[in-house]
Amino acid sequence: MSQTTQKSGIGAFLARDFTASIVVFLVAMPLCMGIAIASGVPPEKGLVTGLIGGIVVGALAGSPLQVSGPAAGLAVIVFEFVRDHGLSALGPMLVLAGAIQLVAGVARLGGLFRSISPAVVHGMLAGIGALIVLGQFHILFDAKPMSNGLANLAAIPGRVLGLSPDIRSTEMALGLGLTTILVMLAWEKWRPKKLALVPGALLGVGAATIIAASFGMNVTRIAVPESLAAAFGTPGAGFFAPLGDTAVITAAIAIAFIASAETLLSAAAVDRMHDGVRTNYNKELWAQGIGNMLCGAVGALPMTGVIVRSSANVQAGAMTRLSAILHGVWILAFVALLPWLLREVPMAALGGVLVVTGWRLVSLKHVTHLFHNYGVIPAAIWVVTFALVVGKDLLTGVIAGLLLSLVELIPLAKGLRLGVEEKHTDDGHHVALQGSATFLSLTKLTNRLESVPADRAVHLDLKDVHGIDHTTAEMLGEWIARRRRGGAAVRLSGPDPILNTLAA
């Protein structure tokens, strides 16, 4: 390859990463602020997490095209933590959570998080989505959310019945929030193909901001500090004192667990969107740990890998980690140079963004998919996790879902071990499994399958497999689909019930 061609190729990569970074920045801005508000902290805390997730974690990440930042999936647990322990305890708790992630990544435990039942993860996200919708509904009325999901639900009729024909600040705020929602939904349904990468959230917030400013509406707007330095906290004397409270330590463990699971599942989803470098899960985990430790040190929000921004990154044509890094640079520049513009944004507009975001997390497609393809038990895991996250708390829901996942092992209790044998042949690669394919052996199985050369035809022999749970079936289905998309042949053999499960 000539030097000119190499320079041209590098230039094309840089151009695509530069363009993608702007798209991700535009998607990230309203989400960073909205998630901060949903978490019960000032909006600039979400922006700080976004720029750390971009610049620092983007440079270190094991998933080059994944974008990190504040996540809706952690908003509820952060809101409850700040309510119970105060904002000052968030920093040390998050430093501990990040340290746990860092140690887990260095200890090469990243693969274990991929063994978590998809039913638990999606049930948790659906429950979080429902809580966000219930809480942000009150933000649409320029009011504060209640202390929990059930209280928010009970207060909704009063909010609606309290509306007046007179146009007061409450009615104006609701109009701006609904405008944001309508613009987002209309744009995503009817946007021109040439403008497909323009985010609806940005247009919705922009429309509401322009209306509020043009008519001088007396509604609550977001509060932004006068200087960028004021957005960053610094650890002071007694910073780690809250860690003497066992409840704070428990919250740190919960944040570390949930953030890691969401990050690595998001990374697996991003890998399915492109054919480039695959995720190094252990590296991604310790990079997230460093990011969360930094966020804790400066008093920002926790971060995870986030699928909405990551998918926007891939769809915008990103080729390397440079796009994620640059999106953090753009957030930094915007907060430093244009804070006056952020102060014009109505709170109700960000509430509208979060209502749509939360509603999309409550996807019934996941539970119907689980029921039709894998039966009653995985669907029940989803329902129980969802119900307890909404009705009790997030940690209770996740623990109950994980315990209920053990029910799937009962029919396979006599032989839970999984044997994996590999043979190299002239025409491909032969992989034979023996025993029960469950989440208990998923890490081992995943490592063996992903070590198979990408250009080799594979015969996956399942004739000696006498049981498979839905977690393993989902992983195998994704692995088979990815190899076939890459042009490699995959042949399956085994009992019809097993093959039918993978075909689902």
pLDDT of residue 206: 93
Lowest-confidence range among 7-21, 337-351, 402-416, 446-460? 7-21
Lowest-confidence range among 284-293, 344-353, 492-501? 492-501
426 φ/ψ angles, rounded to the nearest 5 degrees? -65, -35
Q: Diameter of the chain by CA atoms? A: 80
Q: Please, are residues 95 and 79 in contact by the beta-carbon 8 Å criterion?
A: no
What is the location of CATH 3.30.750.24 in the chain?
418-503
pLDDT of residue 229: 78
User: Which residue, 501, 428, 427, 425, is CA-closest to 462?
Assistant: 501
Q: Please, are residues 96 and 249 in contact by the beta-carbon 8 Å criterion?
A: yes
Single pTM value for the model: 0.83
- Summary count for the chain: helices (H), strands (E): 22, 6
Q: What's the pLDDT tens digit per position in 457-474?
A: 999 999 999 889 999 998
Task: Tell me the CA end-to-end span of the chain in Å, nearest whole number.
Answer: 44
Provide the 3-class DSSP secondary structure of residue 427.
coil
pLDDT of residue 12: 59
Q: What's the pLDDT tens digit per position in 226-271?
A: 777 778 888 888 999 999 999 999 999 999 998 998 898 788 778 8
pLDDT of residue 371: 93
pLDDT of residue 11: 61
DSSP strand E in 3-139: where? 67-69
> For residue 2, what pLDDT band results from cuts at 50, 70 and 90?
very low
Which conformational region is residue 86 in: left (phi greater than 0), alpha (psi within -120 to 50 degrees), or beta?
A: left
CATH node for 418-503: 3.30.750.24
pLDDT of residue 311: 84
DSSP 437: E
> Helix 246-271 and helix 307-315: axis angle, to 10°?
20
Q: Retrieve residue 166's tokens.
A: 């007179």
pLDDT of residue 10: 59
> For residue 114, what pLDDT band results from cuts at 50, 70 and 90?
confident
> For residue 504, what pLDDT band results from cuts at 50, 70 and 90?
low
The Cα–Cα gap between 504 and 499 comes to 9
User: Which residue, 160, 130, 163, is CA-closest to 148?
Assistant: 130
Cβ atoms < 10 Å from Cβ of 315:
15
Kindly tell me if the per-residue pLDDT of 401 is higher than 90: yes
pLDDT of residue 92: 97
The Cα–Cα gap between 310 and 53 comes to 12
DSSP strand E in 241-360: where? 304-306
